[in-house]
């Protein structure tokens, strides 16, 4: 290897402490510093040049690099640039060493991704303190990544449960066995057993040898977060949507449970409850059909919905091909073409993970509306239904011109629910960003004032949105400008509201736009919306998000640890007041953020309105885009003919 090893450098045992790479072209300085670091308990390797340092990083694993700025052949800044091309700021801390007064290089180094710096001649106490701080931050970074990985595994497992839950229709026992085996592997449990309550006893659905728990003891566990752990056995109740006890899940061979693992087991029990309710509904429906078949006379037929896969127009069962483009209609949607004999569905506008949105004609009031429903495969999910009710209640409680207007809501009688809202024309901010990039300062100022007014009204009503993101900020062209509408209050909660809508260990929201406390699963208040709205406005103004990572674990780390570049680094005309406003609203700790979103946005908007425009800003294309974007299910982006 090209690097020089000093006192125990090489393969680093776990008990030798952190592995450091000291890079300095001066052999005396390098050797002296290395010896002092070894004496302090570190394992140290030395490199005499930039190329040697990069080779050392190729061949070994290091926890931190102490890098000299001034070196021949390849200076420290170039070495840092190449290190950052391979390792993130949180993955491999780099501390720069520079002579006193060489501030320009230090500023350049910090901009290139250096974590810290020390001044030559080195004060060893200062060096050790700063190295200790960076190593502690690195450990914290690794802890966050580990948590992110666990959260992602939990989310993937829950997604699998949701995706395969329909198999319970055919064979609940086989589905439960398959799912319990997968969850056991994820959690590291020896076995997970599923028991159903029959009369006054639990009966295994998969023939396990595990001992059944006591029904009376399981019944006492609270709904939502009731997990009993004794020695190496955990028991979670399986309840139906109304809270009635249907069974139990038992995990054997695992004694310690963190919040993520508890959330996954409780999520599995929750999905089992939904599947059992689905099975019960299926049996009741079959019995009702059998009774109906015995009755004489004509039966009323249901107008099943068909949607053209080419143009998204909606048709009733009497139509075999789309009247607009001739596409055959072969796949029924399992949903009525006319809702409650009042709302005739005309276009499928968009579909998301939990619902679909249609353009509909309100035959009673002679108007076009947007109708949002839970998709049929989610009818069993009590949490989804509660979120629909919550969204309706939230919108009704706010009643603000910058919040989408709610006309009606209802239950179709089979567990599915719908909201009838105003039909919007325009673009969501995510769509505008893809089409036009950043807005002008004046446009962003308008966005700030209007969006903050909507969120402020929600906060005064005691409601926190919790999912402010570009897809939920809709802009409608109006009088040469635009009207902002805040959408999708499906994740909103009252500050003193129901905590059961968020299962422990699961992420509620969209990570790239969530504040650190929300990513960590802690309770949130209106300051979470301040952060998310500031992140949206940062994108609107600069053209980039507060994080540019794409992998979920890296997004978590970036949001929790790394602040975005100041606006002035991306828009040189931005004054210090703009940087200060975003720095406050995007603070990692909620107590450092402003509570009043309106006051914050008003001050920032005033600072932006005098800035020059460097581009055309947002442009609303004539005619809009195709109906419905999967990322913005409540949108209407064109007027169908």
Scan for tokens 């190295």, then name that residue: 131
* Range ranked top by mean pLDDT from 73-77, 181-185, 278-282, 563-567: 563-567
Mean pLDDT of 447-452: 97
Mean pLDDT of 251-277: 80
The fraction of the chain above a pLDDT of 70, given in percent, is: 76
SS3 readout for 97-151: EEECCCHHHHHHHHHHCCCEEEEECCCHHHHHHHHHHHHHHHHHHHHHHHHHHHH
Cα torsion at 558, 559, 565, 566 (round to 10°)? -160
Any residues with CB less than 8 A from the CB of 353 and at least 6 apart, and which? none
- In DSSP terms, which residues pair with 581 in a beta bridge? none
Q: Which of 396, 191, 178, 360 is nearest to 271 (CA)?
A: 178
Give residue 13's pLDDT.
34
How confident is residue 630, by pLDDT bands cut at 50, 70 and 90? very low
| Helix, strand, coil tally for the chain in percent (to 5) | 40, 20, 40
Average pLDDT, the chain: 79
Least confident of 224-238, 295-309, 514-528, 567-581: 295-309
Give residue 449's pLDDT.
97
- H/E segment holding residue 239: strand 233-239
d(CA 613, CA 616) in angstroms, rounded, equals: 8
Domain(s) of CATH 3.40.50.2300: residues in the chain:
4-122
Mean pLDDT of 95-112: 77
- How many Cα atoms within 13 Å fall on the side-chain side of residue 23? 34
CA 511 distance to own-chain centroid: 3
> Quick check: is 467 catalytic?
yes
How confident is residue 386, by pLDDT bands cut at 50, 70 and 90? low
Mean pLDDT of 593-610: 96
Q: At what angle do helices 441-460 and 382-398 cross, to 10 degrees?
A: 100
Domain(s) of CATH 3.30.200.20: residues in the chain:
304-422
d(CA 153, CA 606) in angstroms, rounded, equals: 44
d(CA 389, CA 404) in angstroms, rounded, equals: 16
Mean pLDDT of 452-459: 94
Domain(s) of CATH 3.30.450.40: residues in the chain:
164-283
**CB count, 10 Å around CB of 410?**
15
Give residue 183's pLDDT.
79
Q: Which of 532, 486, 151 is nearest to 524 (CA)?
A: 532
| C-alpha separations of 68 from 119, 166, 462, 624 in Å | 10, 60, 54, 55
Any residues with CB less than 8 A from the CB of 579 and at least 6 apart, and which? 566, 567, 568
| Tokens representing residue 176 in the block | 């439960």
d(CA 240, CA 252) in angstroms, rounded, equals: 24
Per DSSP, helices labelled H in 225-329 are 259-293
Q: Which of 342, 380, 384 is nearest to 360 (CA)?
A: 342
How confident is residue 21, by pLDDT bands cut at 50, 70 and 90? very high
pLDDT of 373 strictly over 90: no
Domain 427-608 top-level CATH class: mainly alpha
Query: What pLDDT, in 10s, does the model give residues 325-356?
Result: 999 998 887 678 888 889 999 999 987 656 78
DSSP conformational letter for 500: G
Catalytic residue among 116, 467, 529, 558: 467
Domain 4-122 top-level CATH class: alpha beta
Query: What pLDDT, in 10s, does the model give residues 84-97?
Result: 999 988 889 999 98
Give residue 258's pLDDT.
82
Return the higher-pLDDT residue of 452 and 499.
Answer: 452
Topology at the third CATH level for domain 164-283: Beta-Lactamase (3.30.450)
* Range ranked top by mean pLDDT from 301-305, 355-359, 364-368: 364-368
Topology at the third CATH level for domain 304-422: Phosphorylase Kinase; domain 1 (3.30.200)
> Where are the strands (E) in 271-381, listed by range?
304-307, 314-315, 332-336, 338-339, 343-351, 355-362, 367-374
Give residue 314's pLDDT.
95
d(CA 198, CA 347) in angstroms, rounded, equals: 46
């Amino acid at each position: 290897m090209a690097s020089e090893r000093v006192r125990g450098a090489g393969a680093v045992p776990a008990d030798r402490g952190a592995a450091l790479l000291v890079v300095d072209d001066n052999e005396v300085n390098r050797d002296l510093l290395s010896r002092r670091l070894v004496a302090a308990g570190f394992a140290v390797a030395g490199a005499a040049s930039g190329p040697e340092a990069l080779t050392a990083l190729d061949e070994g694993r290091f926890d931190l690099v102490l890098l000299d700025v001034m070196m021949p052949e390849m200076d420290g800044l170039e070495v840092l640039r190449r290190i950052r091309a391979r390792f993130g700021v949180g993955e491999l801390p780099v501390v720069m060493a520079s002579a006193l007064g060489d501030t320009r290089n230090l500023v350049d180094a910090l901009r290139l991704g250096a974590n810290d710096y020390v001044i030559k001649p080195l004060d060893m106490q200062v060096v050790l303190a700063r190295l200790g701080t960076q190593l502690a931050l690195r450990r914290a970074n690794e802890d966050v990544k580990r948590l992110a990985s666990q959260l992602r595994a939990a989310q993937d497992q829950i997604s699998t449960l949701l995706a395969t839950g329909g198999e319970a229709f055919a064979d609940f026992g086989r589905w439960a066995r398959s799912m319990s085996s997968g969850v056991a592997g994820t959690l590291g449990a020896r076995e997970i057993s599923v028991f159903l309550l029959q009369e006054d006893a639990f009966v295994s659905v998969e023939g396990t040898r595990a001992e059944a728990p006591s029904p009376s003891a399981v019944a006492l566990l609270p709904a939502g977060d009731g997990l009993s752990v004794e020695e190496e056995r955990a028991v979670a109740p399986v309840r139906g949507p109304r809270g009635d006890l249907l069974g139990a899940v038992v995990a054997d061979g695992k004694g310690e449970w963190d919040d993520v693992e508890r959330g996954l087991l409780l999520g599995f029990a929750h999905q089992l409850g939904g599947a059992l309710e689905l099975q019960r509904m299926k049996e009741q429906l079959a019995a009702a059909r059998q009774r109906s078949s015995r009755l004489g006379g004509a039966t009323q037929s249901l107008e099943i919905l068909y949607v053209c896969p080419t143009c998204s127009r909606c048709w009733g069962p009497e139509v075999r091909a789309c009247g607009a483009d001739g596409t055959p209609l072969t796949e029924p949607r399992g949903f009525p073409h006319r809702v409650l004999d009042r709302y005739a569905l005309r276009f499928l506008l968009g579909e998301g993970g939990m619902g679909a949105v249609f353009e509909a004609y309100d035959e009673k009031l002679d108007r076009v509306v947007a109708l949002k429903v839970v998709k049929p495969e989610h009818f069993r999910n009590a949490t989804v239904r509660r979120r629909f009710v919550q969204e309706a209640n939230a919108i009704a409680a706010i009643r603000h011109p910058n919040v989408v207007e709610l006309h009606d809501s209802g239950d179709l009688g089979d567990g599915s629910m719908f909201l009838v809202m105003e039909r919007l024309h325009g673009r969501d901010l995510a769509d505008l960003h893809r089409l036009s990039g950043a807005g002008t300062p004046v446009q962003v100022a308008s966005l700030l004032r209007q969006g903050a007014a909507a969120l402020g009204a929600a906060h005064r009503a005691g409601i926190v949105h919790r999912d402010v993101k570009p897809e939920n900020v809709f802009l409608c062209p109006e009088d040469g400008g635009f009207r902002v509408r805040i959408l999708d209050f499906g994740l909103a909660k009252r500050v003193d509201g129901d905590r059961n809508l968020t299962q422990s260990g699961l992420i509620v929201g969209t990570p790239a736009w969530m504040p650190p406390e929300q990513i960590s699963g802690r309770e949130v208040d209106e300051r979470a919306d301040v952060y998310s709205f500031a992140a949206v406005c940062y994108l609107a103004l600069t053209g980039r998000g507060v994080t540019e990572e794409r992998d979920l674990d890296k997004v978590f780390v970036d949001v929790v640890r790394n602040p975005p570049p100041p606006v002035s680094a991306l828009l040189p005309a931005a004054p210090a007041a703009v940087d200060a406003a975003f720095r406050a609203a995007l603070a990692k700790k909620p107590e450092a953020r402003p509570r009043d979103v309106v006051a914050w946005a008003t001050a920032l908007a005033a600072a932006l309105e005098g800035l020059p425009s460097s581009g055309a800003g947002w442009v609303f294309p004539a005619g809009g885009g195709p109906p419905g974007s999967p990322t913005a299910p409540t949108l209407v982006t064109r007027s169908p003919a």
